[in-house]
Amino acid sequence: MGTGTLITNSGRLIALNRTFKAVPDYTAPINFEVGIGTATPSPADTALASWTFTKATSAVTFDEPNLNVTTQGVLLTTEANGVTLSEFGLFNADTPAKMMSHAVFMGITKDASVQVIITEKDVIN
């Protein structure tokens, strides 16, 4: 199983498009997806390896001095049950949605007794 987190090539395009175009073509990343994929994230990724559930992000925090943004997604006890979650992606609201970032992590067994809060920090270095 690969692990890691990265901003995808689509994510870089979203950031550049929204920064430098007077009228951006791409929407901001506002949704997260979770899945059960285990492949190491690649900059070329455009979707989760094995999608399970999509939901709006619950919080976005900008840390301007340190050039990073933290995004949080919450899965309630009634959501995405019966699987072992192992990947997270941040997506915009375009059709089709563009993947901003992709993370793969050690599995979390999700059932009705578990609420999951996933926090991802993306950094520009």
pLDDT tens, 6-51?
Answer: 999 999 999 999 999 999 999 999 999 999 999 999 999 999 999 9
pLDDT at 1 over 70: no
Q: Rounded to an integer, what distance in angstroms lies between the CA atom of residue 62 and that of residue 51?
A: 27
pLDDT given at position 111: 97
Contacts of 122 (CB under 8 A, 6+ apart): 5, 7, 11, 68, 69, 70, 71, 90, 100, 101
Contacts of 1 (CB under 8 A, 6+ apart): 38, 86, 104, 106
pLDDT at 115 over 90: yes
Percent of the residues in the chain that have a pLDDT greater than 70, as a whole number = 99
For 26, list phi and psi in degrees, rounded to 5: -110, 145
For 41, list phi and psi in degrees, rounded to 5: -60, 145
For residue range 61-97, list pLDDT tens digits in order.
999 999 999 999 999 999 999 999 999 999 999 999 9
pLDDT confidence bin for 118, thresholds 50/70/90: very high
pLDDT given at position 125: 76
